[in-house]
Structure 1
């Protein structure tokens, strides 16, 4: 199982002082976090894409290119590229460039995104939400296979053999499909034979098993090799010296962001009791000391029929810069050895 970090480059006010760090300082901290993850041997670091004031990741390929120049082994990916809102040609060029800078370590996780700000920002019609994504995914996959594509769709001018450059260092740029809880998205990933990255940011891992089974069955029916139908999970996670320390470091930022989004969407404010339940044995938060976190990761993999990758969404702990870096160190030095020594399913 590959182990990694996903960051949304969150920039949050201190809950006690109300002070917000400067964007320059937060970006410097983020690049330091990638370097720590590389140094301690984690497998992958992802940067999300949002177009909101509380995040600095509207241009993830730029951040990943900076990270590529400062790291040696860790794979670098989007988490996710909001493909519906970008030109696939430009996205492919950007990530091919990251691949060249990194010496063949770039990947893409593409999805429709959980926020809608990108659509009006780029003049797109939200009524075409799914059609835009399906068409742009088709074009992105075409670009991966051919340098001089011939392609036609509804939402962008046709390609009639123009060259798309640069090409990546890897023979085929890895593309994962990022999904939430929509059965159609799981089925689409299986039909296309793309590896699946499941965002599980609440509830339990168990409730996603039928959807993962749907993905694998769709892939089997489409004739794809089961070995290529990889499943990854993106989950809220944080490692501390103790369970209590991990929860205390993660909760304030998580509560701040969850409350802000909740006000926009009509949710009730989250409570500490709800958070502690999610961090408990039955919840989907991977928050605790190294032994607790490793046990939950292995249990999640068993529940979902075997996972190829788990990435930790740690951004809401960014208020505690030192704790963030220590958490990444613990994930690489203490959690990862337990996972890697576990018997293969």
Structure 2
């Protein structure tokens, strides 16, 4: 199972000092965080995509392209790539380029985002969010899978004899997750194509997450991609840890109360009771996240939000170390001990998918040769 971190890239004033980093400092801190996560042995680093303050991650592939050269093992991903307001032609080329640069050590999560004004900023209508996501992804897949594309749809100019460059590494498109919090149409889309489904449930009770994941699993099986329990699932989460639980609560409370993503709303007590946010000791985090399997079944990726709300960089790096040293080894062992042999432990890697493609091609060639002999 993969464990990692994701960033929403917020620029937030530290409520305990009154200090606010500028955009440059925040971007560079994200690079430091990703490098530290790689060195600590975490499996995934993912960045969001936003085009408005107080967020700075407006160009995920630029950030991840740098990290491809600056890290060694960690999978580089997004959380999210905006499938609705980005041109699918640009997505196809940008992420194929990232795939080549990283030698396949990447994937991406497609989603609609959570900022309404981004639609008119990029010439789209928010009321068309779901149709945009569906049509744009259908085109994106063709651009990766077909060398020459003729296409016409509702939301962009037609394509005639178009070839996206560079071509995907080894002829295998990047692995795609479909990220959604509340839209069954997106879970349906993930199931239809046999892609991964990521439920970033940081604001939602587990009862809702369970419904969405189970629906995706049913559709994955319905479309013939395997058994429902073999569908590829990822979850979001949030943690803040100290050795002593009360110390964690005391330290994190001012950050929670002023965070742009949930401050000035429910109390921290209410939020931790109803969402995956876990504030406490590493053992409490282990117990909380080990129980996720009981609701959604065996899953393949768990990402944690830890670098937000104005937390100092030093604190974030400490959180990464606690995750890597005290939480992840125990969770990984617990999850893998219970996982049935027929259920994938991880999302499919580029190497696995390239090998499967080669095997399929060899089988087709053998069948065609046999047909010619008997013709």
| TM-score normalised to structure 2 length | 0.83
Q: In structure 2, what is the Cα distance between the partners aligned to 1:98 and 1:250?
A: 36
| 2:265 aligned partner | 270
CA shift for structure 1 position 206: 3.0
Q: In structure 2, what is the Cα distance between the partners aligned to 1:96 and 1:238?
A: 35
Q: Which moved more, 1:335-344 or 1:107-116?
A: 335-344
Structure 2 CA distance for partners of 1:139 and 1:31, relative to 1, 3 Å: same
Q: In structure 2, what is the Cα distance between the partners aligned to 1:287 and 1:148?
A: 51
Contact 1:200–1:284, Cα closer than 8 Å, also in 2: yes
Does residue 240 of the first structure (1) align with residue 242 of the second (2)?
yes
Q: Secondary structure at the match of 1:177?
A: strand
Does residue 330 of the first structure (1) align with residue 322 of the second (2)?
yes
| 2:67 aligned partner | 67
CA shift for structure 1 position 72: 0.5
Unaligned segments of structure 1, at least 5 residues: 263-268
Aligned length: 335
| 2:205 aligned partner | 204
Q: Secondary structure at the match of 2:108?
A: strand
Contact 1:144–1:172, Cα closer than 8 Å, also in 2: yes
Q: In structure 1, what is the Cα distance between the partners aligned to 2:196 and 2:21?
A: 36
Q: Deviations over 1:137-189 (max 9, x none)?
A: 11112223223223221111222232111123362301100001222322232
Q: In structure 1, what is the Cα distance between the partners aligned to 2:35 and 2:166?
A: 26
CA shift for structure 1 position 7: 0.4
Contact 2:9–2:308, Cα closer than 8 Å, also in 1: no
Q: Secondary structure at the match of 2:155?
A: coil
Does residue 92 of the first structure (1) align with residue 92 of the second (2)?
yes
Contact 2:134–2:189, Cα closer than 8 Å, also in 1: no
Structure 2 CA distance for partners of 1:322 and 1:50, relative to 1, 3 Å: same
| 2:152 aligned partner | 152
**What is the aligned counterpart of 1:311 among 303, 307, 315?**
303
Q: In structure 2, what is the Cα distance between the partners aligned to 1:201 and 1:38?
A: 23
Q: Deviations over 1:293-340 (max 9, x none)?
A: 122111012211122111011232442211100101111111111012
Structure 2 CA distance for partners of 1:244 and 1:228, relative to 1, 3 Å: same
Q: In structure 1, what is the Cα distance between the partners aligned to 2:152 and 2:324?
A: 45
Contact 2:15–2:310, Cα closer than 8 Å, also in 1: no
Q: In structure 2, what is the Cα distance between the partners aligned to 1:253 and 1:158?
A: 48
Q: In structure 2, what is the Cα distance between the partners aligned to 1:188 and 1:17?
A: 45
Contact 1:237–1:314, Cα closer than 8 Å, also in 2: yes
Q: In structure 1, what is the Cα distance between the partners aligned to 2:207 and 2:57?
A: 31
Q: Deviations over 1:81-131 (max 9, x none)?
A: 111000111112112222222221111100111111211211212222221
Q: In structure 2, what is the Cα distance between the partners aligned to 1:249 and 1:83?
A: 37
CA shift for structure 1 position 57: 0.6
Q: Which moved more, 1:249-258 or 1:333-342?
A: 249-258
Q: In structure 2, what is the Cα distance between the partners aligned to 1:248 and 1:141?
A: 48
Q: In structure 1, what is the Cα distance between the partners aligned to 2:40 and 2:84?
A: 35
Contact 1:242–1:288, Cα closer than 8 Å, also in 2: yes
CA shift for structure 1 position 228: 5.6
| 1:344 aligned partner | 338
| 1:121 aligned partner | 121
Map 1:216-235; keep pairs closer than 5 Å: 216-226=217-227, 229-235=231-237
Q: In structure 2, what is the Cα distance between the partners aligned to 1:149 and 1:239?
A: 50
Q: Deviations over 1:227-285 (max 9, x none)?
A: 762110112233333333434444434432347x78xxxxxx325xx3134335x6421
Q: In structure 1, what is the Cα distance between the partners aligned to 2:102 and 2:251?
A: 32
| 1:299 aligned partner | 291
Contact 1:147–1:165, Cα closer than 8 Å, also in 2: no
Q: Secondary structure at the match of 2:325?
A: helix
Q: In structure 2, what is the Cα distance between the partners aligned to 1:248 and 1:54?
A: 25
Q: In structure 2, what is the Cα distance between the partners aligned to 1:288 and 1:95?
A: 38
Q: In structure 2, what is the Cα distance between the partners aligned to 1:22 and 1:5?
A: 22
| 2:351 aligned partner | none
Contact 1:11–1:55, Cα closer than 8 Å, also in 2: yes
| 2:37 aligned partner | 37
Larger radius of gyration: 2
